[in-house]
Amino acid sequence: MKKLGNLLSLLLLAVMIFTNISAIESKVSMELWNRYTVDLNGTDITKSYFSLERGYLGIEPTFSDKMKGRFTLDFFSTDKFEEGVGIKLKYAYMDFAMPVSDMSLQAGLIKTYFGTIYDWTYATIQKSFDDKEKIVSSADYGVSVNGLIPAGFGEYAFSLYNGEGYSKAGGDIDANPAFAFNLRVIPLTGITLGGSVLYEDHSLLVDADSTVSDTVRMVYTGVGRVAFGPIDIIAQYAAKDMDGSLGAGFMVMPVIKINKLVSALDMELVGRYDSYDKNTDADETNDSYGRIVAGFNWNLFKNPDDGKPMVFVQTNWERTMYEDTTKDATDNVAIQLRYLFSGKM
Amino acid sequence: MKKILSMLLSLTLLAGFIFAGDITMSGSTTVFPIAQLAAERYMDKHPDVNISVRGGGSGVGISDIILGRVNIGNASRQIKNKETKQAKENGINVVETVVANDGIAIVVNPSNGINKLTLEQVKKIFAGEVSNWKQLGGASMPIVVISRDVSSGTFEVFKELVLKGGKVREDALLLASNNAVASNVAETPGAIGYVGFGFLSDKVKALEIEGVVPNEKTVNDGTYKISRKLYMYTNGAPKGEIKAFIDYILSSEGQEIVKETGYIPLK
């Protein structure tokens, strides 16, 4: 509890400092996810509980048109600590505009620009496919050059990361950096195609005789999206080659935006199918599984300025089916209230 | 599956039937007077058509068209690359129509003795580097800076053409519409603000900038530097009633409305 108190004091101090620096304009935001979850095995309820799954507190200072920052903490329910709450540092970076139009350099604890993980809007309560299957971590320490292709034809990012993800630090970080490239193109209105690759190789920086980690990791993904009228479909294939062992799978997620059919009903119907095999080279491991998600999102309040949802309810049913015939399919039903608010200092 | 598809098709047709003859618009408060008056005149001629016009700022108009919330998004600035990308991703093919030209006038209270400024002086005033009219040869009176909020296209253009990317001073009064800026300047002796030409009246004084009087002639000949175009954005090339309405604004009758509301007709 003392640690938590210290962290909160530091946070308060940071907010006070930002408030008192007159040259800086800062946006402060909070996003909370209150969830009720029921886990089932067959018809047996194995767990049912209320929780705060996310509590993002963000400060985004703007120093000038060409320099801004982002600092985000995540508060969440957990039984790992006696206080029942955990805190994660999610983002902490500066963003510098480059001399080239629509290009910037980010440095610090930044998003992992890969697949669907960096712009996943959680149309399902479930994480993005690459996040759920631990293909990559959603954020990592590093630098990234991001840009937009002219005339709205897409975006790109060249990045260099620790490679271990935002939850690892100090002794958990090896000597190898991870190189990543992400590209999204929109050749036709409503059709988005993209791909990303992240590569980490011990031999690039460390002596062959070194005793430090010799992991060679290559992860890659292809993403497609079709948006037409009320229909929006995202598909993704992703693979993770870790020291010669290949895990691979895909996701398809159709969303029907009901509000585009009946404007008074601000809802989305969501479906999703995931399939992942942790080791495609070994059939006998029986470690592949499939996941079906069905649900709806109901917007209760949208920001009148930009139309983005500010208060909404999500309901998902999720079934996971295992290749291993000794394991029963498991079900999960979750209802989540998400709400966010922000202000300027 | 067939049933689901039939249901979706029916809902689509039903939605199309329910909203036939209705045009919804939102966005720029600069374009608002043109859109509003044109809508009134158009509805007089076409009683079966219902047009609703909402303000909010250019950012709102463009966001609404990207999200498919309105038929026409009004803006006093051009759509950004990032917004075009978002629109394309969402299956929205944003098409731009220029409906008028406009200048942004730098306005002060009529009681202020200052009649002209340079662009550099205006920049310094808004940045807070000059804080009293006395520093510019006027009466000893603190300068009250009135600006627009970040959703404003007028602010974006002002920032690009006058502030050159610089910041507005911290204690500036940020207002949500051209009308609010004009009213506040009219009521505050030391105030300075900026508005579209459509909001000029004898209650505020428009300053000469770099020795050039802000008017239709100086905008058209390019000598008045703080000028821009006014836009209406649609999803795809305008069709049906939306096309008929935009064609009306572009017609000689519609361009008379542009003039009547204080803006500059297209040549």
Please, how many CA atoms are within 13 Å of residue B232, restricted to the half-sphere of its CB? 28
Q: Which of A17, A131, A6, A138 is nearest to A69 (CA)?
A: A17
Which of A156, A270, A183, A186 minimizes the C-alpha distance to B90?
Answer: A186
Query: What's chain B's average pLDDT?
Result: 90
Give SS3 for A205: coil
Amino acid (1-letter code) at residue A212: V
A119: closest chain B residue by CA: B86
Nearest to A157 by CA among A147, A149, A166, A142: A147
pLDDT tens digit sequence for A160-186: 999 888 887 777 777 788 999 999 999
Cα–Cα distance for residue pair A240/A199, rounded to 1 Å: 10
**Residue A179 backbone phi and psi in degrees, to 5:** -100, 135
CB interface of B with A, residues 234-263, below 8 Å: none
Chain A residues whose beta carbon lies within 8 Å of the beta carbon of residue B172: none
Partner-chain contact B85 A305, CB within 8 Å: no
CA-based nearest distance B188→chain A, Å: 25
> By the 8 A CB rule, do A87 and A7 touch?
yes
Cβ of residue B85 closer than 8 Å to a chain A Cβ = yes
Give per-residue pLDDT as tens, B106-147: 999 999 999 999 999 999 999 999 999 999 999 999 999 999
What does the pLDDT read at residue A324? Answer: 86
Give the C-alpha separation, A198 to A240, whole Å.
9
What is the structure's pLDDT at A46?
A: 92
Percent of chain A with pLDDT over 90: 64
pLDDT band at A79 (very low <50, low <70, confident <90, very high): confident
The residues near B220 (Cβ < 8 Å, ≥ 6 apart) are B101, B264, B267
pTM over 0.80: yes
User: For position B6, what pLDDT does the model report?
Assistant: 57
Strand B22-27 vs strand B72-75: parallel, antiparallel, or unpaired? parallel
Mean pLDDT for the stretch of residues B232-254: 96
Nearest C-alpha of chain A: how many angstroms from B56?
7
- Paired tokens of A173: 């970080």
Minimum mean pLDDT range among B6-20, B94-108, B240-254: B6-20
Region A314-342 average pLDDT: 93
Residue bearing the bigger pLDDT, B112 or A210: B112
Please report which residue ranges of A51-155 form alpha helices under DSSP H.
129-132
Question: How many Å apart are CA A76 and CA B128, to the nearest integer?
Answer: 43
Judged against a pLDDT cut of 80, whether residue A23 lies above it is answered with no
Provide the ipTM. 0.86
* Angle B136-B172-B107 from CA coordinates, rounded to 5°: 50
pLDDT: is B26 or A324 the higher one?
B26
Instruction: Report the C-alpha gap between B181 and B174 in whole angstroms.
Output: 9
Sequence letter at residue A253: M
Domains of chain B: 11-101+229-260 (3.40.190.10), 102-220 (3.40.190.10)
Under an 8 A CB cutoff, do B81 and A150 touch?
yes
Residue A210 has a pLDDT of 54
By the CB < 8 Å criterion, does B168 face chain A? Answer: no
DSSP bridge partners of A271 = A294
Nearest to A227 among B59, B91, B167 (CB): B91
Q: How close does chain A come to B218, measured CA to CA in Å?
A: 30
Position B17 scores a pLDDT of 39
- The more confident residue out of B107 and A5 is B107
Q: Residue A209: is its pLDDT beyond 70?
A: no
Instruction: Give pLDDT, residue B35.
Output: 96
Instruction: Please name the residue of chain A whose CA is at the shortest distance from the CA of residue B128.
Output: A23
Q: Answer whether B59 sits within 8 Å of A305, measured CB to CB.
A: yes
Please give the residue of chain A at the shortest CA–CA distance from B165: A65
Instruction: Give the Cα separation of B64 and B27 in Å (integer).
Output: 8
Q: Which residues of B touch A189 (CB under 8 A)?
A: 87-88, 91-93
With CA atoms as reference, the chain B residue closest to A193 would be: B89
Nearest residue on chain A to B8, judged by CA atoms?
A261
Q: Taking a C-beta distance cutoff of 8 angstroms, is the pair A108, A119 a contact?
A: no
Interface contact B63-A153, CB threshold 8 A: no
| Tokens read off for A272 | 């999703």
B218 pLDDT higher than 60: yes
The closest CB to that of B89, out of A23, A102, A227, belongs to A227
Q: What is the residue-averaged pLDDT of chain A?
A: 88
Distance between CA atoms of residues A76 and B262, nearest Å = 55
Residue B188: the pLDDT is 95
Q: Which residue of B has its CA nearest to A24?
A: B170
Contact assessment for residue A340 and residue A31, using Cβ atoms and an 8 Å cutoff: yes
Q: Are A141 and A93 in contact (CB under 8 A)?
A: no
The reply to whether residue A186 touches residue B170, judged by beta carbons under 8 angstroms, is no
Nearest-by-CA chain B residue for A187: B88
Dist. CA B166–CA A84, nearest whole Å: 46
Alpha carbon distance B180, B185 (integer Å)? 9
pLDDT at res. A2: 54
| Distance (Å) from the alpha carbon of B165 to chain A's nearest alpha carbon | 6
- Is B84 in CB contact (< 8 Å) with chain A? yes
Q: Check pLDDT > 80 for residue A283.
A: no
**Range name among A187-196, A204-213, B196-205, B240-249 with the lowest pLDDT average:** A204-213
Contact criterion met (CB < 8 Å) for A152 and B11: no
**What value, to the nearest 5°, has the Cα angle with vertex A292 and ends A291 and A293?**
120
Mean pLDDT (whole number) for A84-110:
94
Distances (CA, A) of B203 to B108, B146, B238: 9, 16, 38
DSSP B264: B
Mean pLDDT computed over B13-17: 43
pLDDT at A63 over 90: no
- pLDDT reading at A208 higher than 80: no
Is residue B256 helix, strand or coil?
helix
Could B91 and A304 be called an inter-chain contact, meaning their C-beta atoms sit closer than 8 Å?
Answer: no
- In the predicted structure, residue A15 carries a pLDDT above the cut 90: no
Pick the more confident residue, A17 or A242: A242
Determine which of A2-11, B77-86, B125-134, B171-180 has the lowest per-residue pLDDT on average. Answer: A2-11
Residue pairs spanning A and B at CB distance below 8 A: 90
Q: Which of A64, A152, A230 sits opposite B87 (nearest CB)?
A: A152
Is pLDDT of B41 > 80? yes
pLDDT value at residue B14: 45
Alpha helix ranges (H) inside chain A: 2-20, 129-132
Structure confidence at residue A259 (pLDDT): 83
Q: ∠ CA A252-A254-A258 to the nearest 5 degrees?
A: 170
Q: Is the pLDDT score of A143 beyond 80?
A: yes
Tokens matching residue B222: 């390019």
Looking at B110-166, list the stretches that DSSP marks H as alpha helix, in order from N- to C-terminal side.
119-127, 153-158
